């Protein structure tokens, strides 16, 4: 070997050495970079790549009545979805008779079994399971919606490949139509995985019912399978609060049944029954004649998907006299024994007020005017107050402003300002015409009178039950004094007169002292007054008033002489009194005389 060749070899070796060293240095540098300087970033990237975050859906709270009966509850349901693509003629599955081993079955057999489980027509089902007539197979065909877990399990046993169940939460109303318009209903959320409130309490209590989503972070391997030994970071979901209502579903059932019966009897537009607790203002029942099954709200006429007792304002008629009499007594303008000469027709400032039936001119007490519900006498009583005074009392009784129970669409009714009352309206407002209110307003007025003159705003929500079982109270109902205690006491006495010897003699309930006021109002439409509303608002037992029941029938058809909501009232009221073991009245009637003098039985 010559020296030059040796030099070249040496040079090459040196070059290779340098190259290797450089490569080594690069690798070492990179290693240092990855492991030393940039370690956390890379680790994070790897972590992020492995990590999957799952949303844990909270369970929507239930709605229960005052006894804990479930009115609305969320349950797990499955949608069965099949992918029609890449299906073979036959498939293999575990034998269904419980023995070990597997078998091959064809589509005909599978569809037959599936149809039996799903209770569908096999021929129809076959069209969704497999593409028809060489059509392009679809990737997503829904075979059944909202099936129960048992059905889903059975379907999965059939073993059809690419048939998958999709879990979703479904809202159910186990009691069916009970309190339907109050509960409202739900709609699917935008992503179709859960439900949100669409109407009624479901809508207004959404923020309580909904709950808070939780999340679970897990690590998955490259094939998407969860790595079991990795840490799980879990924020549990907070389930929605259960909304506890003041409703008693049994009483509500009776109210609904009686309302429906009455509606059928006279083919009325609607009938509504409201039951309210006197001492607390809590609503015990709201029964509408039109039934809404929240499981299938579409089956009900849109007009009746909300309770008419809060959405429909109408001219109350004679039940409206209660507020005027209370105002007059409270102001000391009259006493129940104030004597009045009551004619059949009474003309004041050129407006003639008529009574519905012609009668002789009577010498009556103010209580008697109320009992016989004479408009003429009422105008005499009401005229002792100024327009402003009457208006103020009506407002204090809650008229003219909506009663918010947690139900949307609550009507305020119409109550014009006294300065805007026209010449006739200033008198008609005394006997319940010329302004409008809902059935709930009526109930609230009588609750006020029965509760010693103190109005407690009606409420429908008893409380919210948290996930841990504790109960959150809602904001307390507003209470306000409307009339003096003595006034309220007098009002109960003159209301007793209505049932004892006035227009409400059919409203008697054996064993209990009942007071109330009947009301026949003219119902207006575009064409003027062309219908009637019939109401009775009653309180029992009078020695210690517990419950108010208001029954209202709107626009009945047929012979008006039979129109009455008496049996509706007595049926519901006696049921309530029985249910809550209210002791029968032990005191004597305190009703006032209707007429001046000894003779009390005079023709109508």
Partner 1 sequence: MTQRAQRRVTKTAAMTAQTVVDGSAARAVRPEPVAASELPELDSRQRVTLSLVPRINETNKRSMLVMVIALVVVAFSVIVTLVLMNTSVAQRQYDIVSLRNQERVLSQENQALLKEAQSLSAPQALAKKAKALGLVAPGAPGLVDLNDNSITKSADKAVEAEGNSANYATLPLPGQSIREKAKADTKKSESKAPVPTVGNASKDDAKPATDSADSKNSTKSVVKDETATRKIADDGRPVFKDSELNGGTIPAPMIKSPTN
Choice from 44, 49, 54, 76 touching partner 1 (CB under 8 A) = 76
**Is residue 555 involved in binding partner 1 (CB under 8 A)?**
no
User: Of residues 256, 272, 503, 535, which one binds partner 1 by CB under 8 A?
Assistant: 256
> Tokens 């579409």 sit at which residue?
298
Report the residue from 56, 57, 70, 118 that binds partner 1 according to the rule CB under 8 A: 70
Tokens of 562: 């039979």
| Least spacing, CB of residue 250 vs partner 1, in Å | 5
Q: Is 559 in the site for partner 1 (CB under 8 A)?
A: no
Q: Interface with partner 1 includes 242 (CB under 8 A)? A: no
Check residue 586 for interaction with partner 1 (CB under 8 A).
yes
d(CA 434, CA 314): 10
Phi and psi torsions of 541, nearest 5°: -80, 145
Any contact of residue 467 with partner 1 (CB under 8 A)? no
Judged by CB under 8 A, the stretch of 65-73, 328-336, 388-396, 588-596 that binds partner 1 is 65-73
Q: Does 38 bind partner 1 (CB under 8 A)?
A: no
Using the structure block, give the residue that is written with the tokens 């299938």. Answer: 296
x/- letters, 100..139, toward partner 1 (CB under 8 A): ----------------------------------------
| Residue 582 bridge partners (DSSP) | none
- Minimum distance between the CB of residue 153 and partner 1, rounded to whole angstroms? 8
The two tokens of residue 259 are 């309302």
Q: Is there a contact between 435 and 416 (Cβ–Cβ < 8 Å)? A: yes
Of the candidate residues 249, 442, 501, 533, the single one contacting partner 1 (CB under 8 A): 249
User: How many amino acids of this chain bind partner 1 (CB under 8 A)?
Assistant: 51
Give the 3-state secondary structure of residue 338.
coil
Residue window 81-100: x/- pattern of binding to partner 1, with contact defined by CB under 8 A: --------------------
Q: Which stretch binds partner 1 (CB under 8 A): 105-113, 335-343, 474-482, 503-511?
A: 503-511
DSSP letters, 197-250, are E-SHHHHHTHHHHH-B-EEEEEEB-TTSPBPTTS--EEE--BPPPEEEES--HH
* Nearest distance from C-beta of residue 243 to partner 1, angstroms: 16
Name which of residues 155 to 174 contact partner 1 (CB under 8 A): 172-174
The answer, yes or no, to whether the previous bond of 541 is cis (omega within 30 of 0) is: yes
The residue among 121 and 296 lying less far from partner 1, judged by its C-beta, is 296
Residue range at the interface with partner 1 (CB under 8 A); choices 103-111, 123-131, 300-308, 479-487? 300-308
Q: From the CB of 454, what's the least distance to partner 1, in Å?
A: 29
Determine which residue in the list 291, 309, 426, 444 makes contact with partner 1, applying CB under 8 A. 291
Is residue 574 near partner 1 by the rule CB under 8 A?
yes
CB 74, min distance to partner 1, A: 9
Binding of residue 261 to partner 1 (CB under 8 A): yes
Task: Note whether 357 binds partner 1 by CB under 8 A.
Answer: no
Local structure of 356: helix, strand or coil = coil
Nearer to partner 1, 127 or 408 (CB): 408
* Segment 317 to 346, residues that bind partner 1, using CB under 8 A: none
**Residue closest to 104 by CA, chosen among 168, 180, 164, 159:** 159
Q: Judged by CB under 8 A, does residue 75 bind partner 1?
A: yes
Quote the CA–CA distance of 522 and 435 in Å, as a whole number. 11
Consecutive H or E run containing 425: helix 425-428
From 86-94, 204-212, 255-263, 519-527, give the range in contact with partner 1 by CB under 8 A. 255-263
Burial 541-578 (b: 16+ CB within 10 A, else e): bbbebbbbbbbbbbbbeeeeeebbbbebbbbbbbbbbe
Q: How far is 447 from 166, CA to CA, in rounded Å?
A: 50
Q: What one-character DSSP code corresponds to residue 58?
A: P
Q: Which of 131, 161, 474, 511 binds partner 1 (CB under 8 A)?
A: 511
**What burial class does residue 586 get, using C-beta atoms within 10 Å of its C-beta: 0-12 exposed, 13-18 middle, 19+ buried?**
exposed
Q: How far is the CB of 165 from partner 1 (least distance, A)?
A: 12
Contacts to partner 1 from residues 401-430, by CB under 8 A: 409-411
477 class by beta-carbon count within 10 Å (0-12 exposed, 13-18 middle, 19+ buried):
middle
Pick one of 176, 214, 343, 474: the residue that binds partner 1 (CB under 8 A).
176
Query: How far separated are the first and last CA of the chain, in Å rounded?
Result: 149
Question: Which residue matches tokens 């318009």?
Answer: 181
Task: Between 34 and 75, name the residue whose CB sits nearer to partner 1.
Answer: 75
Contact 488, 273 (CB under 8 A): no
Pick the stretch among 113-121, 176-184, 363-371, 378-386 that binds partner 1 (CB under 8 A). 176-184
Report CA-CA distances (Å) from 330 to 263, 325, 336, 396, 478. Answer: 37, 8, 11, 13, 22
Binding site for partner 1 (CB under 8 A): 69-70, 73, 75-76, 148-150, 172-178, 228-229, 249-250, 253-254, 256-257, 260-261, 267, 291, 293, 295-296, 299-303, 306, 311-312, 409-411, 509-511, 557, 567, 571, 574, 578, 584, 586
């Amino acid at each position: 070997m010559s020296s030059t060749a040796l030099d070249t070899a040496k040079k090459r070796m040196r070059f290779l050495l340098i190259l290797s060293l450089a490569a080594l240095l690069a690798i070492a540098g990179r290693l240092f970079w990855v492991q030393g300087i940039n370690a956390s970033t890379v680790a994070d990237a790897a972590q992020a790549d492995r990590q999957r975050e799952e949303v844990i859906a909270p369970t929507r709270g239930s709605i229960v009545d005052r006894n804990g009966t479930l009115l609305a509850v969320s349950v797990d349901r499955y949608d069965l979805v099949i992918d029609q693509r890449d299906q073979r003629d036959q498939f293999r599955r575990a034998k269904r008779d419980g023995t070990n081993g597997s078998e091959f079955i064809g589509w005909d057999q599978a569809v037959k079994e599936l149809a039996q489980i799903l209770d569908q027509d096999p021929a129809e089902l076959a069209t969704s399971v497999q593409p028809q007539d060489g059509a392009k197979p679809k990737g997503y065909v829904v075979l059944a919606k909202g099936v129960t877990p048992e059905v889903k399990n059975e379907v999965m046993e059939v073993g059809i490949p690419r048939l998958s169940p999709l879990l979703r939460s479904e809202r159910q109303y186990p009691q069916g139509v009970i309190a339907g318009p109050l509960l409202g209903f739900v709609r699917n959320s935008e992503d179709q995985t859960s439900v949100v409130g669409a109407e009624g309490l479901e809508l207004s209590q959404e923020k309580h019912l909904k709950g808070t989503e939780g999340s679970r972070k897990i690590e998955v391997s490259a094939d998407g399978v969860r790595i079991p030994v990795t840490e799980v970071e879990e924020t549990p979901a907070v389930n929605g609060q259960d909304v506890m209502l003041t409703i008693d579903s049994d009483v509500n059932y009776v109210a609904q049944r009686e309302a429906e019966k009455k509606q059928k009897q006279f083919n009325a537009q609607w009938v509504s029954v409201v039951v309210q607790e006197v001492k607390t203002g809590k609503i015990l029942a709201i029964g509408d004649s039109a039934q809404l099954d929240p499981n299938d709200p579409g089956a009900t006429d849109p007009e009746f998907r909300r309770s008419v007792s809060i959405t429909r304002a109408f001219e109350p008629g004679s039940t409206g006299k209660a507020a005027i009499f209370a105002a007059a007594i409270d102001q000391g303008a009259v006493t129940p024994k104030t004597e009045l000469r009551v004619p059949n027709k009474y003309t004041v400032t050129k407006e003639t007020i008529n009574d519905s039936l012609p009668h002789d001119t009577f010498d009556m007490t103010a209580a008697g005017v109320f009992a016989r519900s004479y408009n003429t006498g009422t105008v005499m009583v009401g005229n002792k107050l100024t327009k402003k005074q009457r208006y103020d009392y009506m407002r204090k009784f809650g008229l003219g402003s909506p009663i918010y129970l947690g139900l949307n669409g609550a009507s305020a009714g119409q109550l014009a300002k006294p300065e805007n009352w026209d010449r006739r309206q200033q008198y008609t407002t005394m006997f319940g015409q010329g302004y409008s209110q809902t059935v709930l307003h009526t109930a609230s007025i009588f609750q006020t009178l029965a509760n010693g003159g103190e109005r407690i705003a009606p409420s429908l929500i008893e409380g919210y039950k948290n996930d841990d079982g504790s109960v959150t109270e809602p904001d307390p109902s507003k209470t306000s004094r409307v009339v003096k205690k003595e006034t309220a006491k007098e009002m109960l006495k003159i209301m007793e007169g209505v049932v004892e010897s006035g227009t409400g003699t059919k409203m008697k309930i054996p064993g209990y002292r009942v007071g109330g006021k009947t009301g026949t109002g003219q119902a207006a439409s575009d064409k003027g007054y062309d219908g009637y509303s019939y109401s009775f608002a009653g309180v029992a037992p009078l020695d210690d008033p517990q419950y108010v029941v208001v029954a209202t029938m709107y626009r009945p058809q047929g012979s008006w002489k039979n129109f009455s909501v008496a049996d509706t009232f007595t049926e519901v009221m006696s049921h309530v009194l029985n249910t809550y073991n209210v002791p029968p009245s032990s005191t004597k009637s305190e009703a006032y005389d209707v007429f001046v003098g000894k003779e009390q039985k005079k023709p109508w």
